[in-house]
Amino acid sequence: MSVPEDSAATPDEAPEPMTLGVPRETKPGERLVAATPATAAQLVTLGYAVVVESGAGAEATYADAAYEEAGATVADAAAVWSADIVCAVNAPTPDELDLMRSGATLISMMSAPSSPEYLADLASRGITGLALDAVPRISRAQSMDVLSTMSNVAGYRAVIEAAENYGGMFTGQVTAAGKTRPANVFVIGGGVAGLAAIGAAASLGAQVRAFDVRPEAGEQIESMGATFVQAEQAQQEASSDGYAKELTDEQQRLTEAMYAEETAKADVVVTTALVRGRAVRTITAAMVEAMKPGSVIVDLAASGGGNCELTVPGERIVTENGVVIIGYTDLTSRMPQHTSQLFGTNIVNVVKLLTPGKDGAVDLNLEDEVVRGMTVAHDGAVMWPPPAVKVSAAAPAHEAEPAAPAVDLEEKARLDALQSQRKVRGRLAWAAVAAVLVIVAVTLSPPSFASYFTIFALAVVVGFYVINGVSHSLHTPLMAQTNAISGIILVGALLQLGSTDVAVLVMSFIAAAIASINIFGGFLVSYRMLGMFRKEA
């Protein structure tokens, strides 16, 4: 039946919202989905009619009914691929692109630098391509950076894989049957993946050591609970784009020597050195041969060729000397539920940027450096590579600043040794002066002072070594012990407050005040810590 002309939509009526399709991933072994029910609901609030392919979230434990409850429509593949916008995890195949219409927008990972033919194909089809793995590395775009998301998950999963293949426990155990030492984990790289691996390994109780060629990464590594391996001559500053510069021959030699030493001691090695999709060789076959039987290497750069010389991408192998080398390239897909949620959130943030009016209509603002950086094809033209981002990852050098003179390493080492010797001599001189003063004080004081002073000195020494030997993570629980000691001090101070000696009275008052502060403060901190573990009603 025809529609009367007077019932047609008027110019004042709002246009129908654009459709946004979420297809089922067809890449073998892929379990991720580009939108979860939670992120699909967010896309709906932006004004889009979200269409999800039936079974798209099944591998990530998201049922079709959950998408429908979130406001999305579940349909077949043809309806999804014919949407105005298609959001996918991996780049669609040519057969899938055939189902898309000209003028549609594709949002997915595309490996733009290594896929010029694919970008040309998108342009020839009239499809606007937005590459999620080409988001500029600037602060404003961090919430859209899927590479950081995937690296974070991969680093965490790498430790899970290592723990499964390692023949011992990561944490040390003290039992009636004896004790076991904690596992020694060595992480190469202090980027997102490396820091995630460090955090996971440390939380399991392992002793973690890590190295990065960027010296500024040391603070981040130590903040995650690892020991930063110091190899000053093998480190250098990052280049202007935020990546590490190429190592010189001397730096390469020193780095390899350090790697050989650390891997020989390690039970687990996690490598993450991947620069612009290309793996950097860090572990040679000779280093693997020197490792202990039962050791595990997890190569996160397997997709780029592998950091380990013996890595086989996509496979787990065992060397002749019993070292397990894991080269899986699907670590993120092994944790599909949370990875899909994080990946979907990245897409939501991209779509928010493209929909400033929240009206279900894309506004492709190519003047925005984030949008331009992601756009690889538009209006029949290839848009890759994008112009340089104005905001540099590293601060540019001042033009007026003269170049630093070349440093003579031998001379620098000699000067450092002299300075160290001066410090040692200074400490010895002050120690000698202090010893003389103590001897004079003991000689001229009453006999009772010697016994009191001896107890005091021993208490200082014992206390220093006891507290210094306790891990930082146990300092707060240690307050329970210090509260008991402070209680003894408080009782002693109260007993001396009635003294007629002014000096004793003043010291007793100060001791009582300080002990009270320590006691009440310790209880307050302990109370707040217990509150962190209390279940909410």
Active-site residue set: 137, 142, 145, 148, 243
**513: three-class secondary structure by DSSP:** helix
Rounded Cα distance between 235 and 256, Å, is 12
Give me the count of residues in the chain: 537
Question: What's at 437, amino acid-wise?
Answer: L
- HSE-CB at 92 with a 13 A cutoff on CA atoms is 26
H or E, element range at 324: strand 324-326
CA 55 – CA 75 distance, rounded (Å): 10
- The span from the CA of 258 to the CA of 232, in Å, is 11
Tell me the CB-side half-sphere exposure of residue 8, using CA atoms within 13 A: 6
Q: Judge if the upstream peptide bond of residue 387 is cis by omega within 30 degrees of 0.
A: no
Closest CA to 213 of 203, 221, 202: 221
Alpha-carbon distance values, 384 to 358, 370, 387, 510 (Å): 28, 13, 9, 71
Neighbours of 133 (CB within 10 A): 17
CA distance 193 to 391: 24
C-alpha to C-alpha distance for 413 and 421, rounded to whole angstroms: 12
Which two tokens mark 379?
Answer: 């209006």
Nearest to 62, CA basis, from 35, 93, 42, 44: 35
Rounded-to-integer distance, Cα 500 and Cα 508, Å: 12
In whole angstroms, what is the distance from residue 472 CA to residue 369 CA?
43
Residues 402, 400: Cα–Cα separation, whole Å: 6
SS3 readout for 345-387: HHHHHHHHHHCCCCCCCCCCCCCCHHHHHHEEEECCEECCCCC
Tell me the H-state helices in 82-173: 94-98, 116-125, 146-165
**b/e for 431-465, b at 16 or more Cβ within 10 A?**
eeeeeeeeeeeeeeeeeeeeeeeeeeeeeeeeeee
Give the number of other CB atoms < 10 A from CB of residue 384. 19
First to last CA, the chain: 59
